[in-house]
Chain A
């Protein structure tokens, strides 16, 4: 599975949009981009995933560049409860592919 690069930390004001970047320049055609988050001392939580097209659900939006080498997770109106470590993971949807976590981005939402 392709490696990802994320900034170690970001800050965001409450009520503003949080835009979390992820680089995955070695992504291949059959690899999906997944985002999870982990609130302190809890298990990771699935947020969203995508292959080529932009995706939106009740939690967030995922914007994937046309060349698929980077993506951005957007939390449109960040709240204090969105403070967490956000993980960008690239993964093939084939048998035997594991979910492997990197360092992630610590997002702190400030009042």
Chain B
């Protein structure tokens, strides 16, 4: 257990479904991130939140909608996904956005394995 918990661990959804991924951290971190990892590809940064404000959206399609209600929770709402969106979705947190104090970098959750059928 890393301190960052993601649920569910596995999710199968149809292209017309709406589902949400949840991430929770109790490390006292102020920044949270969503990454996507497709098969045989490097991790891709999707969204960055700092103190519950979205500070980065890396050209992610609108069918992915993040939400950060407080500094401990991060959601990724999914709707009308495509089969190519099947991937491992990883949440991470850090003390802050890279200033001194985050020298140990990011803490990752175990991910949600998403399959779109």
Contacts and interface: CB of A to CB of B under 8 A. Distances in A.
A101 B43 contact: yes
Contacts of B96: 95
B61 to A, nearest CB: 20
Contacts, number: 64
A49 B103 contact: yes
A38 B106 CA distance: 13
B2 interface: yes
A94 B105 contact: no
Q: Chain B's interface: helix, strand, loop or mixed, by majority? A: loop
Given A41-B88, A103-B42, A93 B102 contact: yes
B43 A44 contact: yes
Given A93-B98, A97-B98, A45 B43 contact: no
B2 A93 contact: no
A104 B4 contact: no
Interface residues of A, number: 24
Interface size band for B: 20 to 34
Interface string B1-19: 0101000000000000000
Given A42-B110, A43-B2, A43-B90, A34 B98 contact: no
Interface string A71-111: 00000000000000000000111111111111110000000
Nearest to B102: A93
Nearest to B4: A43
Interface of A: 32, 34, 36, 41-46, 49, 91-104
24 contacts: A32-B103, A41-B88, A41-B111, A41-B113, A42-B111, A43-B90, A43-B91, A44-B106, A45-B2, A46-B105, A46-B107, A49-B103, A49-B105, A92-B98, A93-B99, A95-B97, A96-B97, A96-B98, A98-B56, A99-B45, A99-B105, A102-B42, A103-B42, A104-B42
